Structure 1
């Protein structure tokens, strides 16, 4: 949002020059509110842009009825995804195993493994072991 409260991409009609509009594809997987969705819908309906791929919306969940963006479901030039695009059987199985492993580490009083490159997590103290990836390990000394 801009300081005046307007969405960052507030008007596709003014933001894009006439030449080239039909080639533009808008992809938003950040936040629904950064795009003026009414302007996006207008631009898609009038073919001012070629298409859109969205997995976030200012009003969620997106619905095929009683939603300001319900027309998107019928547009051939729009791809809609849930924000949980990782949601596969394999990903859920891995997630379940990871959670159970972390719970076991806590119950057994072992250092809890954190698999992340997020620097905000590196400040944690004892009982934590960092693994960045399979090949690189940042092991913090931890006591049992």
Structure 2
């Protein structure tokens, strides 16, 4: 049985965020922010409030200028915006609910010459972040 839902409109109880040990957002985060910036920010704030301590969040997204989000009149890399929401302000002692335990702003995935697939596949550059919900109190 297939279910179709909008993660930004779903109730946290439906998402069962408090029960999840690993949440993955793979090549969707940029689209969420481009379509509904305010609701996307609220979604990440829900992760701050509801996810249990020690849970992991993995985000993998296309890197490059198309992964920039405009806030007001300024453009920011998507990962900067997410880092700020989850981890707090950069350059200061992190007061956010999450910590980055692994990251890379530019990793190339190359298909290789021996790959046989019915449609043309492209090499791509991605960024990733692996966050862990802090286990110590703020």
TM-score between both structures, scaled by the size of structure 2: 0.40
Give the number of the structure whose residues are more often strand, by fraction: 2
More contact order relative to length (CA 8 Å, sep ≥ 6): 2
TM-score between both structures, scaled by the size of structure 1: 0.39
